[in-house]
Structure 1
């Protein structure tokens, strides 16, 4: 008599992440949004160690990492309406080509090129290394008027793992958009800033799997999740 080994991760057939077809999506992890920056988001610098571990785990598994970024042009003409008065006043946040627009230190492997604002603002992705890519977004959501979905299709991705800056705004918007497009979705709760228990509960209610970094590392290390 044979027995079938129980599934170590029993989950919903339609929403369970498939890490062998996954990509990490980091959201707005740029220097101008770190905790200590003049217009930064509290708690963002503090998540960087977990976020670096998360990105490293994806690369070790041979899986893509997509960094979705903001680039606010002078005067704020390409910004959300709620931010335009501030940017019109002369404040520069994540301005194209400035040090503050670059990804946070240590998020990318050494030797990675800087973000190319002309390329990104044209709506094309930037290849940053063997596994890393950058995509510009003009609004909260990672899919709105971006090339993200096209890039993910090229990469053969059906599962998105979100992390990054300011869960109530951009990560949440990107998660909703991903769910609307029938991606399987997960969130790394210790690698996202401004997280609350209520927000996690709400996201779990739409099928988002909530993970911590250590659990994610284990899942990505499983033989079925590795690209090699």
Structure 2
């Protein structure tokens, strides 16, 4: 990975990493105005997958209204080209369960399946006839409205948090990023769990409220925004970030 490399020759190892000139950008945020360094920033897009967002997906099939996820999909779709043009890494963090579910404990299998009726994570319960959120399945695929570039990075996760039992932290360390922008669904569940772990690991965290959504009641969103600002980091909007990037060249 070019961001984290040595220069080697047969008789010399130069341990200096490539220099990355700072690219500061100041944006409106809460609880206060925020300056971040685009050279040390990555976007984490969480769970914008068919089983969560598509009308034929798992959640819709068990009676959950998935229409609120549309705003997150739209916000991310409009923001991706801006970040790619600025060479900000895009990291997709999505459920991608093993077919045998061997690493999923009962507490995870219980999610949305409180009666043990085999309608939860990993169950064959979608209209696509694939196991719920199973790796390489239609249900686990990113929704069609979003494009994944060859330069993007994909991380399969198996818990609410994208950091547990995954390579996410190692990937981010190799990218040499300090600040993580968060988008996706559900903001009060997997997005928040991943954001909290990131903050606990020492990353700076920024929740993009217009690129994140939830199918939970509105008070769950309100509580999430409050807790992010109060305990973990900052909230901002993708639109404000895009506007600021348009006004100031990332190379400056």
Q: Normalising to structure 2: TM-score of the pair? A: 0.69
- Identify which of 89, 92, 95 aligns with 1:64: 89
How far is 1:198 from its partner? Answer: 2.4
CA distance, structure 1, for counterparts of residue 237 and residue 43 of structure 2: 14
Query: What residue number does 1:17 align with?
Result: 36
Q: Normalising to structure 1: TM-score of the pair? A: 0.76
Residues 1:10 and 1:211: Cα distance change in structure 2 (over 3 Å):
closer
How far is 1:17 from its partner? Answer: 3.4
Q: CA RMSD in A?
A: 2.8
Asked whether the equivalents of residues 16 and 209 of structure 1 are also in contact (C-alpha less than 8 Å), the reply is no
Query: What residue number does 1:185 align with?
Result: 205
Residues 1:78 and 1:222: Cα distance change in structure 2 (over 3 Å):
farther
How far is 1:223 from its partner? Answer: 4.4
Asked whether the equivalents of residues 188 and 211 of structure 1 are also in contact (C-alpha less than 8 Å), the reply is yes
CA distance, structure 1, for counterparts of residue 164 and residue 38 of structure 2: 24
How far is 1:181 from its partner? Answer: 1.3
- Identify which of 10, 27, 48 aligns with 1:29: 48
Select between 201-210 and 180-189 the one with higher mean Cα deviation: 201-210
Asked whether the equivalents of residues 27 and 171 of structure 1 are also in contact (C-alpha less than 8 Å), the reply is yes
- Identify which of 167, 172, 181 aligns with 1:152: 172
CA distance, structure 2, for counterparts of residue 95 and residue 47 of structure 1: 22
- Identify which of 196, 202, 217 aligns with 2:242: 217
CA distance, structure 2, for counterparts of residue 19 and residue 8 of structure 1: 10
How far is 1:21 from its partner? Answer: 1.1
Structure number with higher relative contact order (C-alpha < 8 Å, ≥ 6 residues apart): 1
CA distance, structure 2, for counterparts of residue 80 and residue 200 of structure 1: 29
CA distance, structure 2, for counterparts of residue 183 and residue 83 of structure 1: 26
Asked whether the equivalents of residues 183 and 207 of structure 2 are also in contact (C-alpha less than 8 Å), the reply is yes
CA distance, structure 2, for counterparts of residue 152 and residue 57 of structure 1: 20
Provide, for residues 87-106 of structure 1, a one-character-per-residue CA deviation record: whole Å limited to 9, x for no partner.
57643212222222111113
Counting matched residue pairs gives 201
Gaps of 5+ in 1: 1-6, 113-128
What SS does structure 2 have at the residue aligned with 1:143? Answer: coil
Query: What residue number does 2:195 align with?
Result: 175
Query: What residue number does 1:122 align with?
Result: none
Gaps of 5+ in 2: 1-24, 110-115, 126-130, 215-219
